[in-house]
Copies of this chain bind each other. A is one copy, B any other.
Amino acid sequence: MHKLLAAVMTVLLLLPGCSTRHDTDAAPQDPLPSWNDTAARRSIVDFVQRVTTPGGPDFVPDVDRIAAFDNDGTLWPEAPVPFQVAFALDEVTERARTDPQLAADPMVQAATNGDFAQLLAGDRDAGLMHVLGLTHTGMTTDQFDKQVGDWLATAEHPRFGRPYDQLTYQPQQELLKYLRANGFRTYIVSGGGADFMRVFSDRVYGIPPEQVVGSTATVRFEMRDGKPVLIKTADYVFVDDKAGKPAGIHEFIARRPILAVGNSDGDQAMLEYTTIANPRPSLGVLIHHTDAEREYAYDANPPASGQLVTALQEAPTAGWTVVDMKNDWNTVFATP
């Protein structure tokens, strides 16, 4: 009988889809090699282990393992300007070369010249909003997707000399995979445009478009030459930032996250919504940009966006993990 059992076990091990206890005995590779063995890493790993331990006091079922990540400054840089702003500036500059009317627009000229003082002057950044309007409305969603894709394929970051979508943070890529391997669903919850991020989120982060919550304006359904199209408009703008993030989470995810990762005061409400008085175990994480050499160092005075003051003040009392980019990450950028 022992001989037969051994034969059966051998067959089982050779059959795909059949697993035995032996499969899991091998020591697993470190899922977070770019994270130094510091308190920040330990708090994250400890949290994941607690919520995934069946029968444990902090166990959370798969369906409620929702992780919400900010994008700009959290998954990739937001300096010298947020990458979507770089897209808008490059795009009007490119278009102005063949469009005299556009070339005569003073704000387009300011964009071409990188004159931010001019772009940010006036009420509610009037010039920048004008340029964003020129590059984000009036076209079909398919045309917009193509414009973003073409830009990503050709533009390079001014400091790092790489395509923008090759500047994601390696430790965060590992964290996203680690969470998904532990039954989490990973969402982006960003002030960036949903349509913009959805062009690359699946390819770059493994996050499918329907798991990207961002700023939106409504699209207009039309039939053109007998074909349905969606036209991007500036109507009903929803800004998925600050108090807008919990609102966006409610509307799009419809579940309260148990993990939220951000890097600025714009993420504070999301972290509060995730961690304060949540009936489930929860964790808030703030990425602190402390590495001028490898990336950027800022909090109160960021290069463009991403101010981190009040959220950093709240972190100790709220029990949020603050990641010191310089000391907690041994690698910053993912290898292309």
Contacts and interface: CB of A to CB of B under 8 A. Distances in A.
Contacts of A243: 220-221
Contacts of A272: 223, 228
Contacts of A223: 272, 276
Contacts of A7: 4, 8
Nearest to A214: B251
Contact of A247 (B15, B218, B247): B218
Nearest to A252: B252
Nearest to A223: B272
Most buried by B among A220, A223, A226, A247: A247
A208 B254 CA distance: 9
A294 interface: no
A325 to B, nearest CB: 28
Contacts of A254: 194, 198, 208-210, 212
A247 B220 CA distance: 7
A141 B250 contact: yes
A334 interface: no
Interface in A54-78: 63
A230 B198 CA distance: 26
Contacts of A218: 238, 247, 251
A45 interface: no
A228 B276 contact: yes
Interface string A181-217: 0000000000000100010000000001110100010
A257 to B, nearest CB: 12
Interface in A318-335: none
Nearest to A10: B8
Contact of A227 (B11, B63, B244, B276): B276
Interface in A208-267: 208-210, 212, 216, 218-221, 223, 226-228, 230, 236, 238, 243-247, 250-255
A100 interface: no
B12 A18 contact: yes
A19 interface: yes
B236 A221 contact: no
A8 B245 CA distance: 56
A5 B5 CA distance: 12
A226 B276 CA distance: 8
A269 interface: yes
Nearest to A209: B254
Nearest to A202: B63
A26 interface: no
A141 B253 CA distance: 14
A316 interface: no
Interface in A25-40: none
24 contacts: A4-B4, A4-B7, A7-B8, A8-B11, A12-B12, A17-B17, A141-B250, A194-B251, A194-B254, A198-B254, A208-B254, A210-B255, A212-B254, A218-B247, A219-B246, A219-B251, A220-B243, A220-B247, A223-B272, A227-B276, A228-B273, A228-B276, A230-B246, A236-B236
Given A220-B247, A230-B247, 4 more contacts: A18-B18, A198-B254, A221-B246, A252-B252
